[in-house]
Structure 1
């Protein structure tokens, strides 16, 4: 393989996967999931998705009645093999790895800025000065504008009337607004995803939720968050509507920020969430898609009320002692 920096990342990802299929590292029937491949290659899902589509066009992988792709040609009765690809020792040549990691400057800092912003907006309104952001990350202001513009498109930052970049505040009303959008987007995604959801993955999720319903202990909050993420990934993001997937992911950012903050503060999770999700998944396993969508709507209403109640706790907590130096609190 001769990966070069002029190649697009989806082309490099395609070559890596193609070579591993040819070598037998990825055996026939192996279920390929975008997220796991993206994690191994340390790239986003978009190039992985394009790589898998190219391999599908060549008959090396195919879609099936489940999430992801199966290695091997279609119409041969290949049974799904759900080994975790992350345990198979995927071979990634050094030149390919270097090419994949030579990310453009905006991509390098985007995730860090997103994390810094999401972690503070629950405490109030913050201003970002382009020059300070550029100095902090040792990049140009052009790169900084690119990052901020992309975060603006995702609703995390905005420009005020003075053309200053502003993040937050995340208030009870904005939380309500996000949950209203969730109510519009997620039940519809669930309905469209239902025929494509991997049955084994659904049953595994159901068992996981049933165990968590009865769990106690300090590590339950992390387990609950992981189970909720699994529910989103399995039951909602299996929708074939890619734009809907993107809207759901972006709209969840501020809500996830609150949940993460509460977890770091040591506040207990609400096991009622696990019960609600378990009921949704249980209905899906029975093929009662409409009822599952209605139950999800009920879950969102309850989750909104819980989140707003939790925000009252945040209101009496002092501002974080450590925030990124390029974020300045704005007195409201």
Structure 2
């Protein structure tokens, strides 16, 4: 449910980000107790948050960073006695070797604009149907139409846009029925992935996930909202995408894109996440830790049933909210 999904190049950026952060930690440039947030690091490296998120998760597994009760990670193995240092990482001067910087920035043009276009599209489709005009999209980002077609083709592969009978690029509408359809696929795919990948799940990562869920479960309702997307992503990565079936992983990841976009938009509109999400995920993880794989898969199915009902209920609320007052200029509302 990460926001940068571009195959091998994403993995490469994740590895480079990991190497840069590891080097800065080991050389003492990032001091123990420093709070690391995905956003500022992504800005420094000029990449999206997804590779940074993956890099931090790997460094956590190595014991170089740790989670704590606040948002983000702490440099070091962590301890209740460590006072979080919230100084802006930009003021420290993160050292990015020239070869790493060049590798991070030597991305094809479509990758540089893909995340922005995906965010623009996801932010409006729940309000209706929009047409994307290739020439206007190209002018907006000052790129060629070839680049634009690359972006739109990838959005279509992920189910976020389509071509209509007139060969116009159309985004939306994201309706209750389309959300139900995605959740039907989730129920077909994800429990099977959990069962087939149970023996491949990293036990240390599973334990850390359980501890994190238990900690979030103990918080006040509003305190866990900012961590909700992150913990759901960690759950999918740890428990669902552990399956060795590559085709199954791809189907699940692509099907989750519009689901994650919908949930992200609902949060942006001020609709809160349901605390039961954390409890349901914690129960799945706890069953896995106890070896109850079949029971965990059944609990996952129950979670997905509850999730689709919660999402549909919130979409009904959105239906009475006026559409966005401002959209990207390359998106044109199509009146049905």
TM range (shorter): 0.7 to 0.9
TM-score by length of 1: 0.75
Give the alignment partner of residue 209 of structure 2, picking from 191, 205, 208: 205
Distance, in Å, in 2 between the alignment partners of 1:316 and 1:307 is 15
Counterpart CA distance in 2 for 1:311 and 1:140 is 36
Tell me if 1:280 matches 2:263.
no
Alignment pair present for 1:187 and 2:186: no
| Stretch deviating more after TM superposition (199-208 or 284-293) | 199-208
How many pairs align?
Answer: 288
TM-score (norm 2): 0.74
- Residue of structure 1 aligned with 2:331, choices 314, 327, 330: 327
Aligned equivalent of 1:219, options 210, 215, 223: 223
In the alignment, which residue of structure 2 is the partner of 1:62?
none
What is the match of residue 311 of structure 2? Answer: 307
* Deviation for aligned residue 1:193: 2.3
- Which runs of no fewer than 5 residues in structure 1 stay unpaired? 1-7, 27-35, 49-66, 70-79
Give the SS at the match of 1:317: coil
Alignment of 1:271 with 2:275, yes or no, is yes
Residue of 64, 73, 84 corresponding to 2:65: 84
Alpha-carbon RMSD: 3.6
Shift of 1:191: 1.4
Structure 1 residues 248, 90: closer, same or farther in 2, change over 3 A?
Answer: farther
Kindly tell me: are residues 131 and 95 of structure 1, through their superposed partners in 2, closer, same or farther at Cα, counting changes over 3 Å? same
Give per-residue Cα distances to partners, 1:264-294, cap 9 Å, x unaligned: 2222221111121111111000011111011
Instruction: Kindly indicate whether residue 277 of structure 2 is the aligned counterpart of residue 296 of structure 1.
Output: no
Separation of aligned partners in 2, 1:305 and 1:242:
29
Aligned-residue offset at 1:115: 1.1
Partner SS, residue 126 of structure 1: strand
The structure 2 residue matched to 1:126, chosen from 130, 142, 153, is: 130
Aligned equivalent of 1:73: none
**1:99 and 2:103 equivalent?**
yes
The answer to whether the Cα contact below 8 Å between 2:210 and 2:286 also exists between their aligned partners in 1 is: yes
More moved, 137-146 vs 82-91: 82-91
CA separation of 1:188/1:217 partners in 2, compared to 1, >3 Å: closer, same or farther? closer
Larger Rg: 1
Q: CA deviation at 1:15?
A: 9.3
Tell me which residue corresponds to 2:158: 154
Helix, strand or coil for the counterpart of 1:233? helix
Q: Give the distance between the partners of 2:280 and 2:238, measured in 1 at CA.
A: 16
How far apart in 2 are the matches of 1:216 and 1:68?
Answer: 29
What's the counterpart of residue 5 of structure 2?
A: none
CA–CA separation in structure 2 for the residues paired with 1:97 and 1:127 = 36
Alpha-carbon distance change, 243 to 82 in structure 1, aligned in 2, over 3 angstroms: farther
Paired residue secondary structure (1:155): coil
Match of 2:139 among 130, 135, 138: 135
The answer as to whether partners of 1:183 and 1:300 remain within 8 angstroms in 2 is yes
Q: SS state of the match for residue 230, structure 1?
A: helix
